[in-house]
């Protein structure tokens, strides 16, 4: 078995396809080497070694040591230098790199190979003693911190003390002798903590570093990061040992991070930042604020043009936006890393659409590249421009992660977590962030930092999470638990608002609004729709996204978001309208059928108006209207005032009304007098609703508005219910259509939300034109989990791992899914063209959408705001 893979001198043993084995970084270093990109040579220890290391009580597999030494010898030969050489030493970096990028979560050690002799050799060879001693002191600090766990701060304090003694502000103000003295201080710190001298043997250093990198695979923050990002099934991290190049060699050296396109907007513009005379950590850590990449053209035109060339080459090769790290050493350019760049939602869509237009990728690839989270971000709130009129921002920083956020200021990740736990909206304000802050960043509405650039930790992590972030805001200065923003001082708990799309920071709270769809997004989603429309499920064409909408405005919004129809209109929501409620209450306490019908007559025109509005908003797309569903219990007057109001309306005494109301009480209303059971006892209710639907549809036809109503009957548990109710509805439809001399096909279907209905789906299908799974009730009744009360025990179930996910968020494939599968198959066995959909709340959940596709459903229906995401995930399910 081979454990180590070499790359260098235009040839590598690995390539980009070997990400599993070499990690993303290692595989791409190999690929770049093969492409002839200037990559410093090195070798990669595979992820299989990491797996073996943990399987075998942190011992390495046999033969690894020899392979590492052989590759080191090869590297030394290629470089013409030896590790620890007193004349001309080789220095290497040791870095982590798993198959999935986990930025900043695992360890890196730079300048390895430095010792008391090598530092002199490097000083002589380069003629730059300051540089050599700086490299040595950085190495001791990193090695001490990362390999030996010595608090980073102790080294920082020694550095600060040195600067103070020398009366200089920047590290660069220290000369070679100062740094040499600092090395003495650093070694003391090392010895104090480890009781040992700083290791002088480079091979000891190398193994110490390799151990630390493999060890960092299981550190707390890496584990947490994998958990948060649902990264599973990886073997471990690889370890990349690579010869060092130096960006801190002087003013003709530098280092930077760049993107082949703008990762925030997606614009096809070379984008990035760099720092002259610095090492990579300085850029990423956000300690110094870097310069825009375009200014590199002025500093070194040749290098800038070479970099442009390379980014084109890499983007064309990988056919995706690249995120690259580079270093310039004495005017020579090296590429240290490339990977497909993380991007904000807007950028993801724009890059996908542009790359199709440029012929780089096809539409299928484009659809696969955009994630539900990207769209979620794109549909993020922005500050209502009306509320912003005439208001000046306190300050402006970098627009690091788009979207607006309001929250109360907190200064530490820990406080953020505590406040959020109490239900507070918090905004994390910091100088900069580091990987330990991840927990606090997750719960924050937004993040504001005073230092660091677009590639600082805060910016990268916030973009990934879709959390609005303003970074590197120069007008922000954090002082303990106070912060000065612009000219004002704020304390913990004060409200501020940030706009991560513009970089602006405002005092106080602002109303946020949801954005409209962009042209690119519409183009992109139209490709998704095409994929979905062409798919055949059962005998019926299309796997479509509908919406749950009860009001014309909701329907209109969903239509604008691209809904292909209404999958569920809950008519009871109309009854809760004050005007209708009084008539409805009159109806339910009526003593006679006549009185009931009288009350219903008042409701009919009101319902008809709502139906008309929804039909109109949907412009001829199917609209499924569900007949009344909830138990009457929910409609009875509850308070004294309500009873009095109804009594007055009826012209009776409250005390005479109360017994009737009491009689309507149910112990188990969700299993009680609801759904089609209401029509079994009071058929006039459904009669009225069906009539209102037909009349609204007839109005549409007469006004030349295309219309396609579907009537849906809820809580069915036996085909006999439909055998009773369906002909009654059909008769009303027929009568009204004939009277109006209008021809219209109105389908009548049923919800499948009672387990018995799912089991007997073949019998039920004989009376239904379509099925729609009401997975809220189906989940409730399959689990016997009350949908209104799960909150009291579901968190415990999730925490203990009794259930992977809350089945009310994502359909339980194993149980509820089995019923859905059975019902679909059984239903289609008697009616091959049976249309089947889902309208429970899970219909907007990506995993559920994928399951629905696999089960052969024809549509999913979700809330209007989820429609764009559902269109994407539906297409991804099809592909
Ligand atoms: C359902 O049960 O899934 C459903 C859509 O109906 P409701 O939520 O109105 O009970
Ligand atoms: Mg239901």
Q: What is the 3-state secondary structure (H, E, C) of 68-106?
A: HHHHHHHHHHHHCCEECCCCCEECEEEEEEECCCCCCCC
Rounded to an integer, what distance in angstroms lies between the CA atom of residue 807 and that of residue 788?
Answer: 13
Query: pLDDT band for position 464 (50/70/90)?
Result: low
Lining residues, ligand 1, CB within 6 Å: 568, 570, 629, 753, 774-777, 839-840
Rounded to an integer, what distance in angstroms lies between the CA atom of residue 154 and that of residue 836?
Answer: 66
**Structure token pair of residue 679:** 């029509």
Reduced to 3 states (helix: H, G, I; strand: E, B; else coil), residue 325 is strand
Pairing status of strand 504-507 against strand 495-499: antiparallel
Task: Name the strand (E) or helix (H) holding 255.
Answer: strand 254-259
**Structure token pair of residue 484:** 């000065």
Q: What backbone torsions phi and psi does residue 714 show, to the nearest 5 degrees? A: -95, 165
Residue 410 belongs to domain with CATH number: 3.50.30.10
Rounded to an integer, what distance in angstroms lies between the CA atom of residue 768 and that of residue 765?
Answer: 5
| 199 shares its domain with 282 | no
Confidence at residue 377, expressed as pLDDT on a 0 to 100 scale: 77
Q: Is 571 in contact with 549 (CB distance < 8 Å)?
A: no
Confidence at residue 94, expressed as pLDDT on a 0 to 100 scale: 96
Q: Whose CA is nearest to atom 3 of ligand 1?
A: 774
| 20 shares its domain with 145 | yes
Rounded to an integer, what distance in angstroms lies between the CA atom of residue 164 and that of residue 800?
Answer: 53
Q: Whose CA is nearest to atom 8 of ligand 1?
A: 776
> Could you report how far apart the first and last alpha carbons of the chain are, in Å?
37
pLDDT in tens, 406-424: 999 999 999 999 999 999 9
| 127 shares its domain with 225 | yes
- Counting from 1 in the atom list of ligand 1, the atom nearest the Cα of 568 is 5
Q: Closest by alpha carbon to 717, among 763, 662, 785? A: 763
- Counting from 1 in the atom list of ligand 1, the atom nearest the Cα of 776 is 3
- Listed in order, strand segments (DSSP E) in 305-445 are 322-329, 332-340, 382-383, 395-396, 398-401, 404-410, 426-430
- Counting from 1 in the atom list of ligand 1, the atom nearest the Cα of 772 is 5
Q: What is the 3-state secondary structure (H, E, C) of 553-587?
A: HHHHHHHHCCCCCEEEEECHHHHCCHHHHHHHHHH
Residue 209 maps to a domain: yes
What's the CA-to-centroid distance between 772 and ligand 1, angstroms? 10
Q: Is 505 in contact with 368 (CB distance < 8 Å)?
A: no
- Known binding-site residue numbers: 570, 626, 753, 774-777
| 57 shares its domain with 186 | yes
Residue 824: give the domain boundaries.
Answer: 516-548+755-767+776-879
HSE of 748, CA atoms in CB hemisphere, 13 A: 23
Residue 33 belongs to domain with CATH number: 3.30.1490.20
Residue 584 maps to a domain: no
Q: Closest by alpha carbon to 202, among 329, 72, 74, 106? A: 72
Greatest Cα-to-Cα distance within the chain, rounded to the nearest angstrom? 107
If one residue of 548, 566, 630, 751 were mutated to test the ligand 1 pocket, choosing by the most ligand atoms within 8 A of its CB, it would be 751
Rounded to an integer, what distance in angstroms lies between the CA atom of residue 111 and that of residue 94?
Answer: 9
Query: Other C-beta atoms within 10 Å of 51: how many?
Result: 17
DSSP string covering 2-57, please? --EEEEETTEES--GGGHHHHHHHHHHHHHHHHTT-----EEEE-HHHHHHHHHTT
Q: Is 776 in contact with 787 (CB distance < 8 Å)?
A: yes
Q: Whose CA is nearest to atom 4 of ligand 1?
A: 774
Q: Is 416 in contact with 455 (CB distance < 8 Å)?
A: no
| 188 shares its domain with 293 | no
pLDDT in tens, 121-161: 999 988 889 989 999 999 999 999 999 999 989 999 999 99
| 122 shares its domain with 53 | yes
Residue 848 belongs to domain with CATH number: 3.20.20.60
Q: What backbone torsions phi and psi does residue 449 show, to the nearest 5 degrees? A: -125, 155
Rounded to an integer, what distance in angstroms lies between the CA atom of residue 696 and that of residue 817?
Answer: 36
Rounded to an integer, what distance in angstroms lies between the CA atom of residue 582 and that of residue 592?
Answer: 17
Question: What residues are labeled active site?
Answer: 457, 839
Q: Is the pLDDT of residue 855 over 70?
A: yes
Confidence at residue 455, expressed as pLDDT on a 0 to 100 scale: 64
Confidence at residue 284, expressed as pLDDT on a 0 to 100 scale: 61
Q: Closest by alpha carbon to 188, among 157, 164, 232? A: 157
Rounded to an integer, what distance in angstroms lies between the CA atom of residue 247 and that of residue 300?
Answer: 14
The bound ligand whose nearest atom lies closest to the alpha carbon of 816 is: 1
Q: Is 138 in contact with 159 (CB distance < 8 Å)?
A: no
Q: Is 69 in contact with 206 (CB distance < 8 Å)?
A: no
Q: Whose CA is nearest to atom 9 of ligand 1?
A: 570
Q: Is the pLDDT of residue 613 over 90?
A: yes
pLDDT in tens, 281-308: 676 655 677 899 999 999 999 999 999 9
Residue 269 belongs to domain with CATH number: 3.30.470.20
| 399 shares its domain with 443 | yes
Residue 644 maps to a domain: no
State CA 215 to chain mean position distance.
28
- Counting from 1 in the atom list of ligand 1, the atom nearest the Cα of 714 is 6
Query: pLDDT band for position 510 (50/70/90)?
Result: very high
| Domain final position from 201, 223, 243 | 243
Task: Name the strand (E) or helix (H) holding 820.
Answer: helix 816-830
Q: Give this complex's ipTM.
A: 0.99
The mean of the pLDDT values for the chain is 92
Confidence at residue 433, expressed as pLDDT on a 0 to 100 scale: 85
Q: Is the pLDDT of residue 635 over 90?
A: no
Confidence at residue 286, expressed as pLDDT on a 0 to 100 scale: 59
What's the CA-to-centroid distance between 632 and ligand 1, angstroms? 16
For the ranges 96-105, 167-176, 411-420, the one whose mean pLDDT is highest: 411-420
Rounded to an integer, what distance in angstroms lies between the CA atom of residue 264 and that of residue 851?
Answer: 32
Residue 520 maps to a domain: yes
- Listed in order, strand segments (DSSP E) in 417-479 are 426-430, 446-449, 469-471, 476-479
Residue 628 maps to a domain: no
251 by Cβ neighbours in 10 Å (0-12 / 13-18 / 19+) ranks as: exposed
What's the CA-to-centroid distance between 743 and ligand 1, angstroms? 31
Q: Which residue has the tokens 């807007």?
A: 346
**Averaged pLDDT for residues 244-264:** 91
- Known binding-site residue numbers for Mg(2+): 753, 777
Rounded to an integer, what distance in angstroms lies between the CA atom of residue 132 and that of residue 176?
Answer: 8
Q: Is the pLDDT of residue 229 over 90?
A: no
| 399 shares its domain with 313 | no
What's the CA-to-centroid distance between 543 and ligand 2, angstroms? 22
Residue 149 maps to a domain: yes
Confidence at residue 285, expressed as pLDDT on a 0 to 100 scale: 59
pTM of structure: 0.81
Rounded to an integer, what distance in angstroms lies between the CA atom of residue 678 and that of residue 685?
Answer: 8
Residue 812: C-alpha distances to residues 759, 842, 853 (Å): 17, 10, 15
| 385 shares its domain with 269 | no
Give 634's DSSP letter.
G
Contacting residues for 828 by C-beta, under 8 A, at least 6 apart: 538, 539, 765, 834, 836, 856
Q: Is 327 in contact with 334 (CB distance < 8 Å)?
A: yes
Rounded to an integer, what distance in angstroms lies between the CA atom of residue 327 and that of residue 281?
Answer: 12
Q: Is the pLDDT of residue 876 over 80?
A: yes
pLDDT in tens, 52-72: 999 999 999 999 999 999 999
Residues in the chain: 879
Q: Is 21 in contact with 47 (CB distance < 8 Å)?
A: yes
CA angle 31, 34, 37 (to 5 degrees): 90
Residue 654 maps to a domain: no
| 528 shares its domain with 501 | no
Confidence at residue 283, expressed as pLDDT on a 0 to 100 scale: 65
Q: Is the pLDDT of residue 810 over 70?
A: yes
Give 639's DSSP letter.
S
- Known binding-site residue numbers for substrate: 570, 626, 753, 774-777
Query: pLDDT band for position 399 (50/70/90)?
Result: confident
| 48 shares its domain with 154 | yes
Contacting residues for 653 by C-beta, under 8 A, at least 6 apart: 647
Query: Other C-beta atoms within 10 Å of 756: how many?
Result: 14
Task: Name the strand (E) or helix (H) holding 274.
Answer: strand 271-276
State CA 722 to chain mean position distance.
43
Q: 114: phi > 0 → left, psi -120 to 50 → alpha, else beta; which?
A: beta
| 259 shares its domain with 287 | yes
Query: What is the total count of domains within the chain?
Result: 4
| Domain final position from 216, 243, 270 | 243
Rounded to an integer, what distance in angstroms lies between the CA atom of residue 216 and that of residue 152?
Answer: 16
Residue 705 maps to a domain: no
If one residue of 629, 678, 757, 788 were mutated to test the ligand 1 pocket, choosing by the most ligand atoms within 8 A of its CB, it would be 629
Reduced to 3 states (helix: H, G, I; strand: E, B; else coil), residue 405 is strand
| Domain final position from 212, 243, 274 | 243
**Structure token pair of residue 524:** 């992109």
Pairing status of strand 404-410 against strand 495-499: antiparallel
């Amino acid at each position: 078995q081979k454990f180590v893979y070499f790359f260098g001198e235009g040839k590598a043993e690995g390539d980009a396809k070997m990400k599993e084995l070499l990690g993303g970084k290692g595989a791409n270093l190999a690929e770049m080497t093969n492409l002839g990109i200037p990559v410093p040579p090195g070798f990669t220890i595979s992820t299989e070694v990491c797996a073996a290391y943990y399987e075998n009580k942190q011992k390495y597999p046999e033969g690894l040591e020899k392979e590492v030494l052989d590759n080191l010898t090869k590297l030394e030969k290629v470089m013409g230098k030896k590790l620890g050489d007193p004349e001309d030493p080789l220095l290497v970096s040791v870095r982590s790199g798993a198959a999935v990028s986990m930025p900043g979560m695992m360890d890196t050690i730079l300048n390895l190979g430095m010792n008391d002799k090598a530092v002199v050799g490097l000083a002589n060879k380069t003629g730059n003693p300051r540089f050599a001693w700086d490299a040595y002191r950085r190495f001791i600090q990193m090695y001490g911190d990362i390999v030996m766990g010595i608090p980073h701060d102790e080294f920082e304090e020694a550095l600060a003390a040195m600067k103070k003694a020398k009366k200089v502000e920047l590290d660069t103000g220290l000369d070679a002798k100062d740094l040499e003295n600092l090395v003495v201080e650093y070694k003391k710190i090392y010895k104090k903590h480890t009781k040992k001298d700083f290791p002088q043997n480079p091979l000891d250093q190398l193994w110490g570093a390799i151990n630390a990198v493999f060890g960092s695979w299981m550190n707390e923050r890496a584990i947490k990061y994998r958990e948060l990002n649902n990264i599973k099934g990886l073997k471990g991290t690889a370890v990349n040992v690579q010869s060092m190049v130096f960006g801190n060699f002087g003013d003709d050296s530098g280092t930077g991070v760049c993107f082949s396109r703008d990762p925030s907007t997606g614009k096809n513009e070379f984008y990035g930042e760099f720092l002259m005379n610095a090492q990579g950590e300085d850029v990423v850590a956000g300690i110094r604020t870097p310069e825009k990449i375009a200014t590199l053209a002025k500093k070194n035109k040749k290098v800038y043009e070479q970099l442009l060339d390379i980014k084109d080459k890499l983007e064309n090769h990988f056919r995706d936006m690249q995120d690259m790290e580079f270093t310039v050493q004495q005017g020579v350019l090296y590429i240290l890393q490339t990977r497909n760049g993380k991007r904000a939602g807007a950028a993801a869509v724009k890059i996908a659409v542009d790359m199709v237009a440029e012929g780089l990728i096809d539409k299928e690839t484009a659809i696969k590249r955009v994630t539900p989270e990207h769209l979620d971000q794109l549909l993020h709130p922005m500050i209502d421009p009306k509320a912003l009129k005439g208001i000046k921002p306190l300050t402006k920083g970098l627009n690091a992660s788009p979207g607006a956020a309001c929250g109360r200021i907190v200064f530490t990740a820990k406080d953020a977590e505590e406040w959020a736990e109490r239900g507070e909206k918090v905004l994390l304000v910091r100088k900069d962030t580091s990987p330990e802050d991840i927990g606090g960043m997750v719960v924050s509405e937004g993040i504001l930092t005073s230092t660091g650039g677009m590639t600082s930790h805060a910016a990268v992590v916030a973009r990934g999470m879709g959390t609005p972030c303003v970074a590197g805001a120069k007008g922000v200065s954090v002082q303990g638990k106070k912060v000065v923003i612009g000219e004002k001082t704020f304390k913990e708990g004060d409200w501020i608002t940030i706009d991560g799309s513009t970089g602006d920071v405002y005092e106080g709270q602002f109303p946020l609004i949801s954005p409209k769809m962009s042209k690119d997004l519409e183009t992109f989603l139209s490709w998704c729709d095409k994929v979905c429309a062409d798919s055949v499920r059962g005998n019926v064409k299309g796997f479509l996204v509908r919406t749950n909408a009860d009001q014309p405005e909701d329907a209109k919004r969903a239509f604008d978001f691209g809904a292909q129809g209404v999958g569920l209109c809950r008519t009871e929501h109309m009854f809760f309208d004050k005007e209708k409620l009084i008539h409805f209450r009159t109806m339910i306490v009526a003593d006679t059928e006549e009185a009931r019908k009288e009350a219903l007559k008042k409701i009919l025109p009101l319902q008809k108006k709502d139906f008309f509005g929804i039909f109109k908003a949907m412009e001829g797309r199917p609209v499924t209207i569900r007949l009344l569903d909830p138990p009457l219990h929910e409609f009875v007057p509850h308070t004294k005032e309500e009873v009095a109001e109804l009594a007055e309306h009826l012209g009776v005494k409250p005390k005479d009304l109360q017994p009737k109301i009491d009689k309507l009480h149910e112990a188990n209303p969700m299993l009680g007098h609801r759904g089609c059971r209401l029509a079994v006892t009071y058929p006039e209710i459904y009669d009225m609703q069906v009539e209102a639907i037909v009349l609204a549809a007839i109005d549409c036809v007469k006004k030349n508005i295309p219309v396609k109503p579907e009537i849906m009957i809820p809580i069915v548990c036996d085909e006999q219910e439909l055998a009773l109710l369906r002909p009654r509805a059909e008769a009303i439809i027929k009568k009204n259509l004939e009277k109006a001399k209008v021809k219209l096909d109105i389908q009548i279907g049923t919800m499948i939300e009672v387990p018995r209905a799912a089991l007997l789906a073949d019998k039920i299908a004989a009376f239904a034109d379509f099925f729609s799974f009401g997975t809220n009730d189906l989940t409730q009744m399959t689990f016997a989990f009350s949908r209104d009360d799960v909150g009291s025990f579901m968190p415990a179930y999730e925490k203990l791992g009794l259930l992977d996910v809350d089945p009310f968020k994502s359909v339980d494939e194993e149980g509820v899914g089995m019923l859905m599968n059975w019902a679909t198959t059984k239903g289609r066995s008697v009616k091959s063209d049976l249309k089947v959909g889902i309208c429970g709340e899970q219909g907007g959940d990506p995993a559920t959408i994928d399951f629905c596709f696999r089960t052969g459903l024809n549509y999913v229906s979700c809330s209007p705001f989820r429609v764009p995401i559902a269109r994407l995930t539906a297409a991804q399910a099809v592909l």
